[in-house]
Structure 1
Amino acid sequence: MEEKKLDGKTILGFVLITGLMLWMMYNNISEEKKSIAEDAKKAKTEKVEQAKQQAIETAVTAASDSTKAKALQSVLGSFAYSASLPSAKDEVTELKNELLTLKIANKGGYIAEAVVNNFESLHKGSQKPIELIKNNNANFNLQLQTQDNRVLNTKDLYFEPTLAKEGENQVLSMRLKTGENQFLEYRYVLKPNEYMMDFSIRTQGLTSVLNTSKPVDLDWNLKAYRNEKSVSYENRYTDLRYEYEGGKDNSLSAASKLDEKTVEDLTYVAFKQDFFTSILLTDTPIKTAQLKSENLVHDDKVDTVFTKNFSAKLPLEFKGGELSYNMNWYYGPADYKILNKYDKNLDEVMPLGWGIFGWINRYVFIPSYTFLSGFIPHGIAIILFTILVRLVMSPVTYKSYLSQAKMKVLRPEIAEINEKFSKDPMKKQQETMKLYSKAGVNPMAGCLPAFAQIPIFYALFQFFPSMFDLRQKSFLWADDLSSYDSVLKLPFHIPFYGDHVSLFPILASIAIFFYMKMTTGDQAMSTPPQEGMPDMGKIMKIMIYISPIMMLFFFNNYASGLSLYYFISNTITIGIMLVIKNYIIDEKKIHAQIQENKTKDKPQSKFQRKMQEMMEQAEAQKKANQKK
């Protein structure tokens, strides 16, 4: 038997594959080591923090006053004064208006509970109020560095509350004291009928206590509760958004497992939870902020309580040895109309789309729909809104169908050209272009109207998931137009589809099938196959069946209001096209007009002349190559 020898290429390939495998193994090991190191570091930090907190609690609960004072002084230094006051208890102070219920804890001085009144969580029909902060899912902390080299966290320290009234406003002062007139203060001002609350952070008389050479790190964290029917759908629109550099806005990825970013000159950060949001605003821009979003939904059948883990680290700088920051808190609906009225660029928290798409939503769709839904039920408002959109777009539909009709009339002549010049693709292309030019037909005219509808389509795709008004509004069998309309619960889970059957997506899929049968089918018949190119007619015929199936799967977990829109929209479009086909467009007249156009000397457009020149040059080059 002849022995096979390895040639150079085989050896090189073997070396490359081996090197690639070793590199992948090294990366995996490195990532594992990095993950283990990070977990160990995190565990160590948590252990140290727990030890500090335990020491503070032990000192606060010491039996005798002398022992307590000594223990507090040992652990807290100058801040032992605050821990010795009667307010050093695990108690809360409530602020409440018609829209919000807030509870501020003595320990930490931060908001321990934030409830949005008048709205219910839709998670498994729990009928609980919207609790943005509850059961320690949020944390607000300043890390203080003292002159005697201590590192203290305000979340572990006790503030003294003072509740007062200024007119109709509720004012709560939370002070972390080192003496009667030396303190760190959080000041909350809740106004009637407002989701927005004034908030300030300031120090007084702490220059000799705090190390003011470095900024104080403000850490705000929120583990977002699920509030809607579909955790996967809600999680898609739950993200961290922020404003920076004097009005620019951006967001961290809602789809990534983990996204982090360092932002310059930050002016607000929003932890958006689909239809509700928590926002911290500051009048003094944060020079360098660190933002982080961690996705907690890895399996929507298991991870059903929380959606995202948000965190923001905002360094606060001293001015004249003191802290002084005027801020605002917003806890409430992610509603464009409410956010926009504050004139603080908060409407950018809503994912309405960029450029022209956002413009259409802000200045056309939202005002139009708000007007309609102001005096009729939301389901009917969607239908009327859809009718208005389709009527406005009907001229585009007419031009598209007219172009298809012209191409259909020319199809026999194009087929004749294809057969006559079947062995000369260049000549066939030239003759086809001449036919289009003489007949006054633009083969691209059928595509241009479709492109014109893209901004409308995309804007609507962003409009319905962002429309807060649809939440908890029912229509027919759909109990909530902002979520899916389940008519049948399945005993199993279908990948990419779910464990339920939604009826509006089925109706929308049927409507889009017949719509595509009328449009794409005619276009496929009127589009001649080109030499060396895929047969677009066959592709379009396949898409007639694939598109409805894709829509059925994609929209099964989407807002039923959007599916209702597409069902009505495609049904109306079918009706408009039947009217255009049977009562407006006459194919015999179109044929006669085309034949008349052929007898006229119609000057070529610049584009047609350029295409003709390019074809002639290519033909000349081809003949020159054949002679060589």
Structure 2
Amino acid sequence: MEEKKFDKNSIIGFALIFGIIMWMFYNSQKTAQEEQAQKIKQEKIDKAKKAKEVATKQVLQTVVDTTVSDTVKLQKLAGALGSFAYSATLPSAKESFTTIENELLTLKIANKGGYIAEAVLKNYKKFEKNSGQLVELIKNNNANFNLELQTKDNRVLNTKDLFFEPTLTKNGNDQILSMKLKSGENEFLEYKYVLKANDYMLDFDVRSQGLSKVLNTSKAADLQWNLKTYRNEKSISYENRYAEIYFENDGKVDYAGTGQQEDETLEKATFIAYKQHFFSSILLSQTPIENVKVSSTNLVRDEKIDTVYTKQFKSIMPLAFKNGELDYKMNWYYGPTDYKILNKYEKNIEDIVPLGWGIFGWINKLIFIPLFGFLSSFMGLGIAIILFTIIIKIAMSPITFKSFLSQAKMKVLRPEITELGEKFAKDPMKKQQETMKLYNKAGVNPMAGCIPALIQLPFMYASFQFFPSAIELRQKGFLWAEDLSSFDQIFKLPFNIPLYGDHVSLFPILAAIAIFFYMKMTSGDQAMAQPQQEGMPDMGKIMKIMIYLSPIMMLIFFNSYGSGLSLYNFISNLITIGIMLVIKKYFIDSDKIHAQIQENKAKPKTESKFQKKMREMMEQAEAQKKLNKK
């Protein structure tokens, strides 16, 4: 067979076909690469566009904070109150702060919300030993200040979510900060802060201009002020006992209480004070605000766990529009709860210091505060307490003397009273009449021993109010006590004793010992001086119980109290014991008293109107008793 061979033309044909196929494949690959590159390029463009849209939405979200969709947010911005979006275009529309300060205060005001974001007291430190940390009443969003506005189409805007424009100027030593939430060049809501030199009180104005077109001015703007109070003292339970809301309602200063939950509605409030034992945040208004709601919630359920905050305070104050605008002259106070400082403002805010009501408060205001303030101005606080106590007890010594003298007279008459009791054992009414005659003849008033004790009682109660409120004692030490405004722990217990606590304080122990010896020395005379009346409790038994009960009560209830009060009670009882010993030894002679009583018996006596009335009443009662027997 003839072998088949490829000719030249066949080879050329195959080469052309292969070249055409390769050319077609190359072009198809190039087209696919171009399409892929174009696709990647388009994706990058789309991604950048989308990122721009997201960024735009995030900016809008910082201006209008709601829980609705982004579309509704945009509608709010462009709606009836959309004119406030003008503030979002200003350079101040960012998370920043303006600081104003004087010798006493440092305040930081936020652009967002226009309210005070930090309040620091420069001259006071927290309870931690050697920490150096200053008292901060406001920090880390523990406070909230918001004005809730309603538009004409019933939409709600909260100023805490909107940006204010700050303008800081000075007028002499005064720092003036204007925070404006603008809807236009001449339409705005303004918070105006004025901080003076060396002052805890700020002027604070709330006013609007040109907003009546977009706001529903028939409805009051709710001013919402919340504060979660930080712990500042050594004992959180003791501090929390004095943390409460005070307010002036229709001209009367009152408080909401210290329970787990306290709520009040005020008719006309002129100030709201969030009191934290030794420090207070107060908002005052020259125009009384009607229908204010305040509430206090206790945040300390377990003092071992709840160690950061004490109370949650809340207030809602409806600010009424006048002629379509807001215009309120107010004040802020951030500072110590110091009676002398608060009293200088003449705005009744000194009444938030719990000095007691009625005569107890007057004793503190007119005697204790001036006297202790004078003594503490030139000596240590511990020595001032001791000298203060000595002066008070010496001033009360004439009353103490009369009380002891009355007891001595009753003790001398005791045998005769006992004899009358035996003689008229079956006729209690006759026994009472004869006893009264004996008192009259002897010139002895059985109530004379009680009256001096009653006179001293208000001073004792006033001291229980004064020392826990004396900020001068805060973080001032004496002997082993590191802080006279808190307990003087000498030993930490590994367990907690109900009512007593988990530590041992020494000054309450010393005060309890002093009370025990004082009661031991006086209870016998008092029991003997008072005749046993039929149907009445045995005073002897009561006195014996009180000898042990009073010291135990001192130990239990004062273990967590401020050591300054325990020191006062310890020194007070020591001085009383000393005065009593001196009076008994040098001023009271039982023989002389007995002789004087016998001399008084021999003298003719005229009944006083009161004695005559008492005698007639007893005689009538006895006559009625005899008549009933018939």
Alignment TM-score, normalising by the size of structure 2: 0.87
Residue equivalent to 1:248? 252
| 1:379 CA drift (Å) | 0.7
Aligned to 1:397: 400
Alpha-carbon distance in structure 1 between the residues aligned to 2:283 and 2:137: 14
Question: Does the aligned pair in 2 maintain the 1:215–1:318 contact within 8 Å?
Answer: yes
Aligned mates of 1:58, 1:281 — CA distance in 2: 30
What pairs with 1:94-113 in structure 2 (closer than 5 Å)? 94-113=99-118
In structure 2, the partner of 1:429 is: 432
Structure 2 equivalent of residue 199 of structure 1: 204
SS at match of 2:183: strand
Secondary structure of 2:511's counterpart equals helix
Residue from 477, 487, 499 that aligns with 1:496: 499
Q: Which residue is equivalent to 1:6? A: none
Q: How does 1:255-270 map to 2 (within 5 A)?
A: 256-270=259-273
Output the CA distance in 2 between the equivalents of 1:499 and 1:429. 52
Q: Quick one: distance in 2 between partners of 1:500 and 1:448?
A: 39
Question: Residues 202 and 495 from structure 1, CA distance in 2 versus in 1: closer, same or farther, beyond 3 angstroms?
Answer: same
Deviation for aligned residue 1:297 = 2.1
Measured in 2, the distance between the counterparts of 1:73 and 1:122 equals 51
What's 2:520 paired with? 517
* Match of residue 476, structure 1, among 476, 479, 482: 479
Deviations 1:368-416 (A, max 9, x none): 1111111111111111110110011001100000010011111111111
Cα distance in structure 1, aligned partners of 2:322 and 2:190: 16
Match for 1:79 among 84, 87, 91?
84
Specify every segment of 5 or more residues in structure 2 that has no aligned partner in the other structure, as ranges. 1-56, 66-70
- Picking from 444, 448, 451, the partner of 1:445 is 448
Q: How does 1:288-367 map to 2 (within 5 A)?
A: 288-367=291-370
Distance 1:472-1:366 versus aligned 2 partners, 3 A rule? same
Tell me the CA shift for residue 134 of structure 1. 1.1
Greater Cα shift, 313-322 or 617-626: 617-626
In structure 2, the partner of 1:219 is 224
Partners of 1:295 and 1:615 in 2: how far apart? 56
1:76 to partner: Cα distance: 5.8
Say which SS state the counterpart of residue 179 (structure 1) adopts. Answer: coil
Equivalent in the alignment of 2:183: 178
Residues 55 and 75 in structure 1, CA contact (< 8 A), matched pair in contact too: no
C-alpha distance 462-53 of structure 1, shift in aligned 2 (>3 A): farther
Instruction: Give how far 1:290 is off.
Output: 1.3
The correspondence for 2:164, drawn from 149, 159, 162, is 159
Corresponding residue for residue 488 of structure 2: 485
8 Å CA contact 1:123, 1:226 repeated in 2: no
1:234 and 2:211 are equivalent in the alignment: no
Opposite residue 214 of structure 2, the aligned amino acid is V
Q: Deviation string for 1:310-352 (max 9, x for gaps)?
A: 1111111111111111111000000111111112112111111
Radius of gyration: which is bigger? 2
Q: CA RMSD in A?
A: 2.1
Retained in 2: the 8 A contact 1:353–1:459? yes
Identify if the C-alpha distance between structure 1 residues 242 and 557 changes in structure 2 by more than 3 Å, giving closer, same or farther.
same
Give, in whole Å, the separation in 2 of the partners of 1:335 and 1:258: 26
Closer, same or farther in 2 for the Cα pair 1:431/1:551, shift >3 Å?
same
Partner of 2:458: 455
Cα distance between partner residues in 2 of 1:388 and 1:59: 65
The 3-state SS of whatever aligns with 2:321 is coil
C-alpha distance in structure 1 between counterparts of 2:112 and 2:63, whole Å: 15
| Aligned ranges 1:40-79 → 2 under 5 Å | 56-57=61-62, 72-73=77-78, 77-79=82-84
Q: Does 1:168 align with 2:173?
A: yes
Letter in 2 for 1:90: E
Return the alpha-carbon distance in structure 2 between the equivalents of residues 482 and 186 of structure 1. Answer: 38
Give the conservation status (yes or no) of the 8 Å contact 2:76–2:82: no
Shift of 1:58: 8.1
The letter for the 1-side match of 2:550 is S
Matched position secondary structure for 2:571: helix
Does 432-441 or 565-574 show the bigger shift? 432-441
The within-5 A match list for 1:12-51 is none
State the Cα deviation string for residues 25-79 of structure 1 (Å, max 9, x = none): xxxxxxxxxxxxxxxxxxxxxxxxxxx999733879xxxxx99977843696222
Unaligned runs of 5+ in 1: 1-51, 61-65
Q: Distance in 1 between matches of 2:619 and 2:209?
A: 84
Q: Which residue of 2 aligns with 1:621?
A: 624
C-alpha distance in 2 between matches for 1:59 and 1:151: 11
Summarize the alignment of residues 530-541 of structure 1 with structure 2, pairs less than 5 Å apart: 530-541=533-544
